[in-house]
A = this chain, B = another copy of it.
Amino acid sequence: MAARPRFGANYVPSSQWFYSWLDFSADAARRDLDDLASIGLDHVRVFPIWPWIQPNRGHIRRAPIDDLLTLIDIAGERGLSVAVDLLQGHMSSHDFLPAWVLTHHHRSVFTDPAVREGIARYMDVVARAVSERDNVFAITLGNEVNNLWPYFDTTSAASREWASELLDVVAAAAPNVKHLYSVFDASWYHPQHPFDPADSVDLGDLTTVHSWVFNGVSDIDGPLGPATVSHADYLVELAAATSTDPNRGVWLQEIGVPQPFVPAADAAEFVDRTMSYVDSNPALWAVTWWCSHDLDRGLLDFPDHEYDLGLFTVDHEAKPAARALEKYIASRRPGAPARRVALECPIDPHSHPERRADIAPGSAFHAEWVRRRADGPIAIASPTCGIDESYLAARGITEVTRGEY
Protein backbone atom coordinates (compact mmCIF):
# COMPACT_ATOMS: atom_id res chain seq x y z
CA MET A 1 0.00 0.00 0.00
CA ALA A 2 1.34 3.39 -0.98
CA ALA A 3 1.58 6.31 1.42
CA ARG A 4 -1.63 8.24 2.00
CA PRO A 5 -2.26 10.25 -1.13
CA ARG A 6 -2.71 13.98 -0.87
CA PHE A 7 -2.62 15.64 -4.24
CA GLY A 8 -3.27 13.92 -7.51
CA ALA A 9 -5.00 14.20 -10.84
CA ASN A 10 -7.76 12.48 -12.69
CA TYR A 11 -5.92 10.94 -15.61
CA VAL A 12 -7.33 11.93 -18.99
CA PRO A 13 -4.99 10.70 -21.75
CA SER A 14 -3.55 13.51 -23.85
CA SER A 15 -4.01 11.62 -27.09
CA GLN A 16 -7.48 10.35 -28.09
CA TRP A 17 -8.96 10.83 -24.62
CA PHE A 18 -10.38 7.55 -23.23
CA TYR A 19 -10.77 6.22 -26.76
CA SER A 20 -7.05 5.55 -26.38
CA TRP A 21 -7.93 2.42 -24.39
CA LEU A 22 -8.90 0.88 -27.73
CA ASP A 23 -5.35 1.43 -28.99
CA PHE A 24 -3.46 1.48 -25.71
CA SER A 25 0.07 2.86 -25.90
CA ALA A 26 2.35 2.40 -22.91
CA ASP A 27 4.69 5.03 -24.32
CA ALA A 28 1.93 7.61 -24.49
CA ALA A 29 0.93 6.77 -20.92
CA ARG A 30 4.54 7.14 -19.75
CA ARG A 31 4.78 10.56 -21.28
CA ASP A 32 1.48 11.66 -19.74
CA LEU A 33 2.33 10.41 -16.27
CA ASP A 34 5.77 12.01 -16.47
CA ASP A 35 3.90 15.29 -16.72
CA LEU A 36 1.93 14.60 -13.55
CA ALA A 37 4.87 13.41 -11.51
CA SER A 38 6.84 16.47 -12.58
CA ILE A 39 4.59 18.88 -10.67
CA GLY A 40 4.70 16.96 -7.40
CA LEU A 41 1.49 14.95 -7.60
CA ASP A 42 1.41 11.66 -5.73
CA HIS A 43 -1.54 9.79 -7.26
CA VAL A 44 -3.80 9.39 -10.27
CA ARG A 45 -7.40 8.30 -10.60
CA VAL A 46 -7.89 6.13 -13.70
CA PHE A 47 -10.94 5.10 -15.69
CA PRO A 48 -11.34 1.89 -17.65
CA ILE A 49 -14.33 1.86 -20.00
CA TRP A 50 -16.92 -0.74 -19.06
CA PRO A 51 -18.40 -1.85 -22.43
CA TRP A 52 -14.97 -2.35 -23.96
CA ILE A 53 -14.07 -4.77 -21.17
CA GLN A 54 -17.46 -6.46 -20.89
CA PRO A 55 -19.09 -6.15 -24.33
CA ASN A 56 -21.36 -9.07 -23.50
CA ARG A 57 -22.66 -9.87 -20.03
CA GLY A 58 -20.93 -13.24 -20.31
CA HIS A 59 -17.67 -12.02 -21.83
CA ILE A 60 -15.00 -10.15 -19.89
CA ARG A 61 -11.96 -9.41 -22.03
CA ARG A 62 -8.48 -9.89 -20.63
CA ALA A 63 -6.52 -7.59 -22.97
CA PRO A 64 -7.91 -4.26 -21.68
CA ILE A 65 -7.46 -5.43 -18.08
CA ASP A 66 -3.83 -6.13 -18.90
CA ASP A 67 -3.56 -2.64 -20.40
CA LEU A 68 -5.01 -1.22 -17.19
CA LEU A 69 -2.40 -3.12 -15.17
CA THR A 70 0.31 -1.78 -17.44
CA LEU A 71 -0.92 1.75 -16.81
CA ILE A 72 -0.90 1.11 -13.05
CA ASP A 73 2.68 -0.15 -13.28
CA ILE A 74 3.73 2.89 -15.28
CA ALA A 75 2.25 5.06 -12.55
CA GLY A 76 4.11 3.05 -9.92
CA GLU A 77 7.41 3.56 -11.72
CA ARG A 78 6.83 7.30 -11.28
CA GLY A 79 5.95 7.06 -7.61
CA LEU A 80 2.27 7.58 -8.27
CA SER A 81 -0.33 5.58 -6.43
CA VAL A 82 -3.54 4.77 -8.27
CA ALA A 83 -7.28 4.84 -7.67
CA VAL A 84 -9.36 2.85 -10.14
CA ASP A 85 -12.97 3.65 -11.01
CA LEU A 86 -14.81 0.66 -12.41
CA LEU A 87 -18.11 1.45 -14.11
CA GLN A 88 -17.57 4.04 -16.86
CA GLY A 89 -20.26 4.60 -17.51
CA HIS A 90 -20.28 8.38 -17.39
CA MET A 91 -17.32 10.45 -18.59
CA SER A 92 -17.59 14.13 -19.48
CA SER A 93 -21.16 14.00 -20.80
CA HIS A 94 -20.67 10.68 -22.62
CA ASP A 95 -22.16 7.48 -21.25
CA PHE A 96 -20.34 4.32 -22.32
CA LEU A 97 -22.85 1.52 -22.19
CA PRO A 98 -22.79 -2.00 -23.61
CA ALA A 99 -25.42 -3.09 -26.14
CA TRP A 100 -26.81 -5.50 -23.58
CA VAL A 101 -28.43 -2.64 -21.62
CA LEU A 102 -29.48 -0.54 -24.63
CA THR A 103 -32.48 -0.25 -26.98
CA HIS A 104 -34.03 -3.73 -27.43
CA HIS A 105 -32.20 -4.82 -24.25
CA HIS A 106 -32.93 -1.71 -22.24
CA ARG A 107 -32.79 -2.72 -18.58
CA SER A 108 -31.81 -0.57 -15.65
CA VAL A 109 -28.25 -0.97 -14.45
CA PHE A 110 -29.58 -0.11 -10.98
CA THR A 111 -32.58 -2.40 -10.67
CA ASP A 112 -32.48 -5.25 -13.17
CA PRO A 113 -31.25 -8.42 -11.44
CA ALA A 114 -29.48 -9.88 -14.48
CA VAL A 115 -27.71 -6.60 -15.21
CA ARG A 116 -26.68 -6.23 -11.59
CA GLU A 117 -25.33 -9.75 -11.62
CA GLY A 118 -23.34 -8.90 -14.74
CA ILE A 119 -21.96 -5.71 -13.23
CA ALA A 120 -21.04 -7.57 -10.04
CA ARG A 121 -19.08 -10.07 -12.10
CA TYR A 122 -17.31 -7.27 -13.98
CA MET A 123 -16.41 -5.49 -10.74
CA ASP A 124 -15.20 -8.68 -9.13
CA VAL A 125 -12.86 -9.50 -12.01
CA VAL A 126 -11.42 -6.01 -12.45
CA ALA A 127 -11.11 -5.31 -8.71
CA ARG A 128 -9.36 -8.62 -8.16
CA ALA A 129 -6.88 -7.88 -10.95
CA VAL A 130 -5.96 -4.31 -10.02
CA SER A 131 -5.72 -4.90 -6.29
CA GLU A 132 -2.78 -7.21 -6.90
CA ARG A 133 -0.73 -4.10 -7.62
CA ASP A 134 0.82 -2.55 -4.51
CA ASN A 135 0.35 1.02 -5.66
CA VAL A 136 -3.43 0.77 -6.01
CA PHE A 137 -4.98 2.44 -2.96
CA ALA A 138 -8.67 2.68 -3.82
CA ILE A 139 -11.37 1.29 -6.03
CA THR A 140 -14.47 3.39 -6.72
CA LEU A 141 -17.62 1.76 -8.10
CA GLY A 142 -17.72 4.17 -10.99
CA ASN A 143 -17.47 7.80 -11.91
CA GLU A 144 -20.61 9.76 -10.96
CA VAL A 145 -22.88 6.81 -11.49
CA ASN A 146 -25.88 9.02 -10.70
CA ASN A 147 -25.44 10.47 -14.19
CA LEU A 148 -26.79 7.15 -15.50
CA TRP A 149 -30.19 8.15 -14.12
CA PRO A 150 -32.77 8.98 -15.51
CA TYR A 151 -31.79 6.92 -18.58
CA PHE A 152 -31.88 3.99 -16.18
CA ASP A 153 -34.64 3.89 -13.60
CA THR A 154 -33.84 3.88 -9.95
CA THR A 155 -35.21 4.94 -6.57
CA SER A 156 -33.32 6.16 -3.51
CA ALA A 157 -33.71 2.74 -1.94
CA ALA A 158 -32.60 0.92 -5.08
CA SER A 159 -29.58 3.19 -5.55
CA ARG A 160 -28.43 2.57 -2.00
CA GLU A 161 -28.93 -1.16 -2.28
CA TRP A 162 -27.07 -1.16 -5.61
CA ALA A 163 -24.06 0.68 -4.19
CA SER A 164 -24.05 -1.30 -0.98
CA GLU A 165 -24.14 -4.68 -2.72
CA LEU A 166 -21.44 -3.74 -5.19
CA LEU A 167 -19.17 -2.29 -2.51
CA ASP A 168 -19.43 -5.68 -0.81
CA VAL A 169 -18.41 -7.35 -4.06
CA VAL A 170 -15.39 -5.07 -4.40
CA ALA A 171 -14.44 -5.43 -0.74
CA ALA A 172 -14.46 -9.20 -1.07
CA ALA A 173 -12.44 -9.10 -4.28
CA ALA A 174 -9.94 -6.48 -3.11
CA PRO A 175 -9.80 -6.44 0.69
CA ASN A 176 -6.50 -4.53 0.82
CA VAL A 177 -7.70 -1.25 -0.74
CA LYS A 178 -10.31 1.37 0.02
CA HIS A 179 -13.77 0.82 -1.52
CA LEU A 180 -15.62 3.92 -2.52
CA TYR A 181 -18.84 5.25 -3.94
CA SER A 182 -18.96 8.35 -6.12
CA VAL A 183 -21.74 10.64 -7.31
CA PHE A 184 -21.94 14.21 -8.55
CA ASP A 185 -23.35 16.95 -6.38
CA ALA A 186 -27.01 16.69 -7.39
CA SER A 187 -26.99 14.12 -4.63
CA TRP A 188 -26.32 16.94 -2.16
CA TYR A 189 -28.52 19.65 -3.58
CA HIS A 190 -31.53 18.35 -5.55
CA PRO A 191 -34.49 17.37 -3.37
CA GLN A 192 -35.90 14.72 -5.72
CA HIS A 193 -32.59 13.19 -6.81
CA PRO A 194 -32.80 9.40 -6.18
CA PHE A 195 -29.28 9.20 -4.73
CA ASP A 196 -29.19 10.34 -1.11
CA PRO A 197 -26.43 12.15 0.82
CA ALA A 198 -26.66 9.37 3.40
CA ASP A 199 -25.29 6.88 0.85
CA SER A 200 -22.18 8.98 0.26
CA VAL A 201 -21.37 9.24 3.96
CA ASP A 202 -22.47 5.77 5.09
CA LEU A 203 -21.16 3.54 2.32
CA GLY A 204 -17.54 2.73 1.55
CA ASP A 205 -14.40 3.69 3.43
CA LEU A 206 -14.38 7.41 2.69
CA THR A 207 -16.83 10.00 1.43
CA THR A 208 -16.04 11.34 -2.03
CA VAL A 209 -17.20 14.72 -3.31
CA HIS A 210 -16.91 16.39 -6.72
CA SER A 211 -16.87 20.17 -6.74
CA TRP A 212 -17.85 21.86 -9.99
CA VAL A 213 -18.43 25.58 -9.89
CA PHE A 214 -20.84 25.51 -12.83
CA ASN A 215 -23.38 23.61 -10.72
CA GLY A 216 -24.47 26.73 -8.85
CA VAL A 217 -21.81 28.86 -7.20
CA SER A 218 -20.41 30.30 -10.40
CA ASP A 219 -23.79 31.98 -10.95
CA ILE A 220 -23.51 33.59 -7.52
CA ASP A 221 -20.11 35.23 -7.67
CA GLY A 222 -17.84 33.51 -10.15
CA PRO A 223 -15.10 33.37 -11.25
CA LEU A 224 -13.23 34.29 -8.05
CA GLY A 225 -15.92 35.27 -5.55
CA PRO A 226 -16.07 33.74 -2.08
CA ALA A 227 -18.94 31.33 -2.87
CA THR A 228 -17.08 30.08 -5.92
CA VAL A 229 -13.64 29.53 -4.42
CA SER A 230 -15.06 28.11 -1.16
CA HIS A 231 -17.34 25.59 -2.84
CA ALA A 232 -14.94 22.68 -2.51
CA ASP A 233 -14.53 23.41 1.18
CA TYR A 234 -18.32 23.74 1.54
CA LEU A 235 -18.92 20.32 0.00
CA VAL A 236 -16.18 18.69 2.09
CA GLU A 237 -17.61 20.26 5.22
CA LEU A 238 -21.18 19.33 4.34
CA ALA A 239 -20.06 15.74 3.79
CA ALA A 240 -18.18 15.72 7.10
CA ALA A 241 -21.21 17.14 8.93
CA THR A 242 -23.57 14.58 7.40
CA SER A 243 -21.54 11.56 8.45
CA THR A 244 -22.40 10.02 11.78
CA ASP A 245 -18.72 9.10 12.08
CA PRO A 246 -16.82 12.24 13.13
CA ASN A 247 -13.54 10.77 11.93
CA ARG A 248 -14.61 9.84 8.41
CA GLY A 249 -12.36 11.33 5.76
CA VAL A 250 -13.63 13.19 2.71
CA TRP A 251 -11.86 12.86 -0.60
CA LEU A 252 -12.24 15.84 -2.91
CA GLN A 253 -12.12 13.48 -5.85
CA GLU A 254 -12.81 16.09 -8.52
CA ILE A 255 -12.12 19.82 -8.57
CA GLY A 256 -11.35 21.72 -11.73
CA VAL A 257 -11.20 25.11 -13.34
CA PRO A 258 -13.74 25.11 -16.17
CA GLN A 259 -13.85 27.83 -18.81
CA PRO A 260 -15.67 30.08 -19.40
CA PHE A 261 -16.94 29.92 -15.79
CA VAL A 262 -13.40 30.66 -14.70
CA PRO A 263 -11.53 32.46 -17.49
CA ALA A 264 -8.05 31.16 -18.32
CA ALA A 265 -6.51 34.33 -16.92
CA ASP A 266 -8.03 33.57 -13.50
CA ALA A 267 -7.12 29.88 -13.41
CA ALA A 268 -4.01 30.16 -11.25
CA GLU A 269 -5.76 32.41 -8.75
CA PHE A 270 -8.74 30.04 -8.63
CA VAL A 271 -6.43 27.13 -7.86
CA ASP A 272 -4.64 29.00 -5.13
CA ARG A 273 -7.74 30.34 -3.38
CA THR A 274 -9.67 27.08 -3.68
CA MET A 275 -6.77 25.02 -2.36
CA SER A 276 -6.13 27.41 0.52
CA TYR A 277 -9.75 27.15 1.63
CA VAL A 278 -10.21 23.43 1.35
CA ASP A 279 -6.78 22.37 2.58
CA SER A 280 -7.57 23.83 5.98
CA ASN A 281 -10.47 21.44 6.39
CA PRO A 282 -9.59 18.73 8.94
CA ALA A 283 -11.84 16.20 7.16
CA LEU A 284 -9.98 16.54 3.86
CA TRP A 285 -8.34 13.25 2.95
CA ALA A 286 -7.01 14.04 -0.53
CA VAL A 287 -7.47 16.30 -3.53
CA THR A 288 -7.57 14.99 -7.09
CA TRP A 289 -7.57 17.60 -9.79
CA TRP A 290 -9.76 17.30 -12.87
CA CYS A 291 -7.92 16.72 -15.00
CA SER A 292 -4.48 15.81 -16.21
CA HIS A 293 -4.64 16.81 -19.88
CA ASP A 294 -6.72 18.88 -22.26
CA LEU A 295 -8.97 17.34 -24.84
CA ASP A 296 -8.02 17.57 -28.51
CA ARG A 297 -10.50 19.83 -30.34
CA GLY A 298 -10.58 17.24 -33.09
CA LEU A 299 -12.71 15.12 -30.78
CA LEU A 300 -16.28 16.31 -31.15
CA ASP A 301 -19.51 16.58 -29.19
CA PHE A 302 -18.11 17.42 -25.77
CA PRO A 303 -19.46 20.39 -23.81
CA ASP A 304 -17.18 23.30 -24.53
CA HIS A 305 -15.86 23.50 -20.97
CA GLU A 306 -14.47 19.94 -21.18
CA TYR A 307 -11.77 20.80 -23.73
CA ASP A 308 -9.55 22.99 -21.58
CA LEU A 309 -9.69 21.37 -18.14
CA GLY A 310 -6.22 19.87 -18.30
CA LEU A 311 -3.32 20.78 -16.06
CA PHE A 312 -1.34 20.11 -19.23
CA THR A 313 -2.07 20.75 -22.88
CA VAL A 314 -2.27 17.87 -25.35
CA ASP A 315 1.31 18.84 -26.21
CA HIS A 316 2.45 18.33 -22.61
CA GLU A 317 2.87 21.95 -21.70
CA ALA A 318 2.10 22.79 -18.10
CA LYS A 319 -0.72 25.35 -17.93
CA PRO A 320 -1.02 28.07 -15.28
CA ALA A 321 -3.27 25.85 -13.14
CA ALA A 322 -0.55 23.20 -13.09
CA ARG A 323 2.06 25.71 -12.03
CA ALA A 324 -0.22 27.09 -9.33
CA LEU A 325 -0.98 23.60 -8.03
CA GLU A 326 2.70 22.66 -8.10
CA LYS A 327 3.57 25.78 -6.14
CA TYR A 328 0.77 25.20 -3.66
CA ILE A 329 1.84 21.62 -3.00
CA ALA A 330 5.50 22.58 -2.57
CA SER A 331 4.84 25.48 -0.21
CA ARG A 332 1.90 24.33 1.92
CA ARG A 333 2.40 24.24 5.67
CA PRO A 334 -0.37 22.22 7.22
CA GLY A 335 -0.94 23.51 10.73
CA ALA A 336 -2.38 21.78 13.75
CA PRO A 337 -5.95 20.55 13.28
CA ALA A 338 -8.24 23.56 13.38
CA ARG A 339 -10.47 24.30 16.38
CA ARG A 340 -13.54 25.73 14.79
CA VAL A 341 -16.93 27.24 15.38
CA ALA A 342 -19.71 25.42 13.51
CA LEU A 343 -22.76 26.84 11.84
CA GLU A 344 -25.82 24.73 12.53
CA CYS A 345 -27.27 23.26 9.37
CA PRO A 346 -31.01 23.90 9.01
CA ILE A 347 -31.53 20.25 8.06
CA ASP A 348 -29.85 16.94 8.56
CA PRO A 349 -29.13 15.84 4.96
CA HIS A 350 -28.76 12.28 6.24
CA SER A 351 -32.36 11.98 7.33
CA HIS A 352 -34.06 14.70 5.27
CA PRO A 353 -32.92 14.43 1.65
CA GLU A 354 -36.25 15.94 0.60
CA ARG A 355 -35.00 19.26 2.05
CA ARG A 356 -31.71 19.36 0.12
CA ALA A 357 -32.66 22.65 -1.54
CA ASP A 358 -32.18 24.29 1.87
CA ILE A 359 -28.43 23.71 1.67
CA ALA A 360 -27.87 24.15 -2.06
CA PRO A 361 -25.78 27.00 -3.47
CA GLY A 362 -27.95 30.10 -3.26
CA SER A 363 -29.84 28.97 -0.16
CA ALA A 364 -29.85 31.28 2.88
CA PHE A 365 -27.77 28.77 4.78
CA HIS A 366 -25.15 28.53 2.06
CA ALA A 367 -24.98 32.34 1.84
CA GLU A 368 -24.45 32.62 5.59
CA TRP A 369 -21.78 29.92 5.57
CA VAL A 370 -19.94 31.65 2.70
CA ARG A 371 -20.12 34.97 4.53
CA ARG A 372 -18.59 33.47 7.67
CA ARG A 373 -16.06 31.39 5.74
CA ALA A 374 -14.49 34.58 4.44
CA ASP A 375 -13.41 35.29 8.04
CA GLY A 376 -11.77 31.89 8.54
CA PRO A 377 -12.56 28.21 8.79
CA ILE A 378 -16.15 27.51 9.73
CA ALA A 379 -17.56 24.06 10.34
CA ILE A 380 -21.07 22.74 9.74
CA ALA A 381 -22.99 20.77 12.35
CA SER A 382 -26.22 19.01 11.57
CA PRO A 383 -29.15 19.52 13.97
CA THR A 384 -28.83 15.85 14.89
CA CYS A 385 -25.09 15.62 15.54
CA GLY A 386 -24.70 19.15 16.85
CA ILE A 387 -25.96 18.14 20.30
CA ASP A 388 -23.42 15.36 20.82
CA GLU A 389 -20.42 16.73 22.74
CA SER A 390 -18.01 13.89 22.02
CA TYR A 391 -18.94 13.98 18.33
CA LEU A 392 -18.25 17.71 18.19
CA ALA A 393 -14.98 17.32 20.01
CA ALA A 394 -13.85 14.65 17.61
CA ARG A 395 -14.45 17.09 14.75
CA GLY A 396 -12.58 19.88 16.54
CA ILE A 397 -15.76 21.95 16.92
CA THR A 398 -15.71 24.24 19.95
CA GLU A 399 -19.07 25.93 19.53
CA VAL A 400 -22.25 25.64 17.45
CA THR A 401 -23.88 28.86 16.30
CA ARG A 402 -26.87 29.69 14.17
CA GLY A 403 -27.40 32.42 11.62
CA GLU A 404 -30.33 34.09 9.89
CA TYR A 405 -31.80 31.33 7.71
Contacts and interface: CB of A to CB of B under 8 A. Distances in A.
A103 interface: yes
Contact of A99 (B97, B114, B298): B97
Contact of A105 (B17, B58, B301): B301
Interface stretch (A88-96, A122-130, A267-275): A88-96
A81 to B, nearest CB: 29
A23 interface: yes
A157 interface: no
Interface in A280-325: 298-301
A158 interface: no
Main secondary structure of the interface of A (DSSP, over half): mixed
B19 A56 contact: yes
A333 interface: no
Contacts of A63: 22-23
B99 A56 contact: no
Given A102-B102, A301-B105, A19 B59 contact: yes
B100 A59 contact: no
Contacts of A118: 300
A332 interface: no
Contacts of A94: 99-100, 102, 104-105
A104 B94 CA distance: 7
A93 B56 CA distance: 12
Contact of A22 (B61, B96, B298): B61
A151 interface: yes
Contacts of A56: 17, 19, 299-301
Contacts of A116: none
Interface of A: 16-17, 19, 22-23, 52, 55-59, 61, 63, 93-97, 99-100, 102-105, 114, 118, 147-148, 151, 298-301
22 contacts: A16-B59, A17-B56, A19-B55, A19-B59, A19-B61, A23-B63, A56-B299, A56-B300, A56-B301, A57-B300, A58-B298, A58-B301, A93-B104, A94-B102, A94-B104, A95-B103, A95-B104, A97-B103, A100-B300, A102-B102, A103-B148, A114-B300
